[in-house]
């Protein structure tokens, strides 16, 4: 990922969404077919401003995943300038948003660099970082995905948790999966930021 693309993602002024449906479709196709590192930074804000209701239903999971990937990269870039204790003196949010989609969205998330994590891994991260789940969503790249219930197939709604593969918290998840407790938070390897 070029630093230029990330700087443009952070600094570019908000651009108006494309005017015509044809322009929107071309923009969607461009973002879905182009590797993230090769994207034109000047088009990112237009893509992020698209109305999902106007995106063809078959392309919505891909558009959602690409938006989440771009947001994750923005958060990763911003995290380099944040203090180690990120939410000192702030109350944890009472609720946070989740991405909603069909059963294709979790697979699409994996294709753009997100790694699924379990509830146990989420609880471990909450303990290590002193962040609530919503704070992990706000401060890191944790993404909550709700796959809608399908009454026809008798499938209930399902919650999935993801972290972007480049999020430093993935190192803690990897240690946890290998059975390692890692170093102490402040003096050993393994301090990746905390909320308090």
Q: Domain coordinates of the chain in residue numbers?
A: 84-196
Q: What is the reported pTM?
A: 0.72
**Strand pairing category for 114-117 and 99-101:** unpaired
> What count of other Cβ atoms lies within 10 Å of the Cβ of residue 137?
19
β-bridge partners, 163: 115
What is the per-residue pLDDT across 56-112, written as a single tens digit (0 to 9) for each?
Answer: 989 988 898 899 889 888 887 777 777 677 777 788 888 888 888 888 889 888 988
* Helix or strand run (H / E) with residue 147: strand 143-147
Contact predicate 63/74, CB 8 Å: no
Contact predicate 167/78, CB 8 Å: no
Contact predicate 92/129, CB 8 Å: no
pLDDT for position 135: 92
Nearest Cα neighbor of 169 from 191, 144, 187 is 191
């Amino acid at each position: 990922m070029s630093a230029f693309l990330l700087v443009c993602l952070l600094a570019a002024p908000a651009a108006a969404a494309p005017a015509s449906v044809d322009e929107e479709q071309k923009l969607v196709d461009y973002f879905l077919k182009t590797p993230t590192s090769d994207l034109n930074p000047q088009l990112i804000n237009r893509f992020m401003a698209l109305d999902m209701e106007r995106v063809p239903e078959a392309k919505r999971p891909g558009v959602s995943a690409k938006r989440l990937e771009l947001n994750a990269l923005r958060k990763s870039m911003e995290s380099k300038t944040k203090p180690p204790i990120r939410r000192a003196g702030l109350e944890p949010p009472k609720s946070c948003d989740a991405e909603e989609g069909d059963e294709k969205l979790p697979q699409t998330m994996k294709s753009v660099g997100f790694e699924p994590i379990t509830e146990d891994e989420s609880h471990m991260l909450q303990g290590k970082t002193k962040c609530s789940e919503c704070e992990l969503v706000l401060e890191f790249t944790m993404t909550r995905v709700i796959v809608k219930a399908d009454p026809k197939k008798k499938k209930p709604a399902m919650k999935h948790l993801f972290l972007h593969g480049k999020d430093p918290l993935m190192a803690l998840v990897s240690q946890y999966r290998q059975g390692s407790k890692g170093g102490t938070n402040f003096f050993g390897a393994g301090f990746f930021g905390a909320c308090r």
